[in-house]
Amino acid sequence: MSPQKQTTLLIVDDDPVIRQSLQEILSYHGYQCLEARDGKEALSIIQDSPVDLILLDLQLPRLNGMEVLKRSLASQPDLPVIIISGHGTIQKAVEATKLGAYDFLEKPLEAERTLLTIRHALEKKNLKVQRDYLLKESRQRYRMVGSDPKIQKVFELIDRAARVDSKVLITGEPGTGKELVARAIHFNSDRATHPFVPVNCSAIPETLIESELFGHKKGTFTGAVSDRIGKFEQAEGGTLFLDEIGDMSLMMQAKVLRVIEDGLVEPVGGRNGKKIDVRIIAATNKDLKKEIEAGNFRRDLYFRLNVIPIYLPPLRERKDDIKPLAEYFLEEICAAEGLPRKSFAPHIWPLLINYEWPGNVRELRNVIERAAVLNQDPIIDTLVINEVMHSKHSTPVTVISEQTLREARERFEKDFILRTLVAHDGKINETAKALGIERSHLWKKMKQYGIKTK
DSSP-assigned states of every residue in 382-447: HHHHHHHHHHH-PPPHHHHHTS-HHHHHHHHHHHHHHHHHHHTTT-HHHHHHHHTS-HHHHHHHHH
Q: Which domains does the chain have, with CATH numbers?
A: 8-136 (3.40.50.2300), 143-313 (3.40.50.300), 318-449 (1.10.8.60)
Q: In this structure, are residues 229 and 215 in contact, taking their beta carbons and an 8 Å threshold?
A: yes
Q: According to the model, what pLDDT value does residue 220 have? A: 72
Task: Report the largest interatomic distance among the alpha carbons of the chain, rounded to a whole angstrom.
Answer: 99
For helices 405-423 and 428-435, angle between their N-to-C axes, nearest 10 degrees:
130
Q: In this structure, are residues 335 and 369 in contact, taking their beta carbons and an 8 Å threshold?
A: no
Nearest Cα to 102, choosing from 86, 79, 128? 79
Count of all residues that appear for the chain in the document: 454
Dihedral pair phi/psi, residue 64, rounded to 5°: -70, 160
What is the spatial distance between Cα 90 and Cα 345, in angstroms, rounded to a whole number?
A: 71
What is the spatial distance between Cα 319 and Cα 162, in angstroms, rounded to a whole number?
A: 27
Q: According to the model, what pLDDT value does residue 399 have? A: 36
Q: According to the model, what pLDDT value does residue 398 have? A: 33
Q: According to the model, what pLDDT value does residue 415 have? A: 74
Q: According to the model, what pLDDT value does residue 2 have? A: 41
The whole-angstrom distance between residue 250's C-alpha and the CA centroid of its chain comes to: 31
Q: According to the model, what pLDDT value does residue 296 have? A: 97
Q: In this structure, are residues 230 and 265 in contact, taking their beta carbons and an 8 Å threshold?
A: yes
Q: According to the model, what pLDDT value does residue 153 have? A: 92
DSSP string for residues in 306-367? TTEEEEEPPGGG-GGGHHHHHHHHHHHHHHHHTPPP-EE-GGGHHHHHHS--TTHHHHHHHH
Helix (H, G, I), strand (E, B) or coil at 272: coil
Q: In this structure, are residues 231 and 188 in contact, taking their beta carbons and an 8 Å threshold?
A: no
Q: In this structure, are residues 374 and 388 in contact, taking their beta carbons and an 8 Å threshold?
A: yes
**314 contact partners, CB below 8 Å, separation of at least 6:** 172, 173, 176, 357, 360
Q: According to the model, what pLDDT value does residue 393 have? A: 43
Q: In this structure, are residues 368 and 328 in contact, taking their beta carbons and an 8 Å threshold?
A: no
Helix (H, G, I), strand (E, B) or coil at 50: coil
**412 contact partners, CB below 8 Å, separation of at least 6:** none
* Residue 279 β-bridge partners: 239
282 residue type, one letter:
A
Q: In this structure, are residues 232 and 186 in contact, taking their beta carbons and an 8 Å threshold?
A: no
Look at strands 8-12 and 32-36 and give their pairing.
parallel
CB atoms within 10 A of CB 363: 19
Peptide bond into 3 cis (omega under 30): no
**Digits of tens for pLDDT over the chain (454 positions)?**
344 457 999 999 999 999 999 999 999 999 999 999 999 999 999 998 899 999 999 889 989 989 999 999 998 988 999 999 876 667 887 888 888 999 989 888 999 999 999 999 998 888 777 666 655 655 555 567 888 999 989 989 998 999 999 999 999 999 999 999 999 999 889 998 899 999 999 888 888 888 889 988 776 776 666 778 899 999 999 999 999 999 999 999 999 999 999 999 988 887 788 899 999 999 999 999 999 999 999 999 999 999 999 999 999 999 999 999 999 999 989 988 888 999 999 888 988 998 889 899 999 999 999 888 888 889 998 777 877 776 644 333 333 334 566 766 777 777 778 777 776 767 888 888 877 788 888 888 888 888 876 5
Characterise 288 by phi-psi region: left (phi > 0), alpha (psi -120 to 50), beta (else). Answer: alpha
Report which DSSP code applies to 268: B
- 3-state secondary structure string, 12-76? ECCCHHHHHHHHHHHHHCCCEEEEECCHHHHHHHHHHCCCCEEEEECCCCCCCHHHHHHHHHHHC
